[in-house]
Amino acid sequence: MDDDRHVVSLDEVPADGTLLFTVRGDEGLEEVVLVRANDEVVAYKNYCQHWTDVRLDKGSGALVRNGELVCQKHAATFETGSGYCNFGPCEGSYLDAVEIDVVDGEVFVVEDDYAFERLGSSGEQTGSSGSRIDFTGT
Ligand code: FES
């Protein structure tokens, strides 16, 4: 596995919360969160499906409780395993998943066109256009 795809050791992913990292893709830097789901670790892009300029993890870990990742803006809850929103203004939507793999206890981002950039935030504002587009496209 390429070094530029290595994110972190699995042990460093918190049991309650998320671990934020940044990837570089075709469109520049993007933030991704790692979250535990049962015995697995999954990754999602770091924005809510209600208002896509709202980050789930603002740098100190998103709220995770009872197997759900919580958007603290309007309390939407997303199932950690699937990213499915089971409550809130964007109910029925899914978080954008990012493909990762775990090899020998190390987490790698394996999605094409993404390279690991750094742990933590991108240092950029999300939703740079200033507009808000929710999952219904409105
Ligand atoms: S912005 Fe996340 S629930 Fe409204």
CATH code for the domain in which residue 82 is found: 2.102.10.10
Beta bridge partners of 70: 63, 77
Q: Is residue 79 part of a domain?
A: yes
Residue 137 confidence (pLDDT): 64
User: Could you tell me if the CB of 48 is within 6 A of ligand 1?
Assistant: yes
Tens of pLDDT, residue by residue over 110-129, are 998 899 999 999 987 554 44
- For ligand 1, the distance from its centroid to the CA atom of residue 106, given in whole angstroms, is 31
Task: Give pTM, 2 decimals.
Answer: 0.90
Kindly state the average pLDDT of the residues 12-40. Answer: 95
Q: Is residue 129 part of a domain?
A: no
Beta bridge partners of 122: none
* Number of domains into which the chain is organized: 1
Which residues constitute the domain of residue 110?
3-51+60-119
User: Could you tell me if the CB of 33 is within 6 A of ligand 1?
Assistant: no
- The atom of ligand 1 lying closest to the CA of 51 is 1
Q: Is residue 136 part of a domain?
A: no
Q: Is residue 124 part of a domain?
A: no
User: Could you tell me if the CB of 13 is within 6 A of ligand 1?
Assistant: no
**pLDDT higher than threshold 80 for residue 135:** no
Q: Is residue 127 part of a domain?
A: no
Tens of pLDDT, residue by residue over 98-109, are 999 999 999 999
Tens of pLDDT, residue by residue over 33-88, are 999 998 899 999 999 999 999 999 999 999 999 999 999 999 999 999 999 999 99
- The atom of ligand 1 lying closest to the CA of 71 is 2
Q: Is residue 134 part of a domain?
A: no
Residue 11 confidence (pLDDT): 95
Closest CA to 69 of 82, 80, 84, 61: 80
Task: Give Cβ neighbours of residue 125 (< 8 Å, ≥ 6 apart).
Answer: 53
- The atom of ligand 1 lying closest to the CA of 72 is 2
Q: Is residue 135 part of a domain?
A: no
Q: If you take atom 4 of ligand 1, which residue's CA is the nearest one?
A: 74
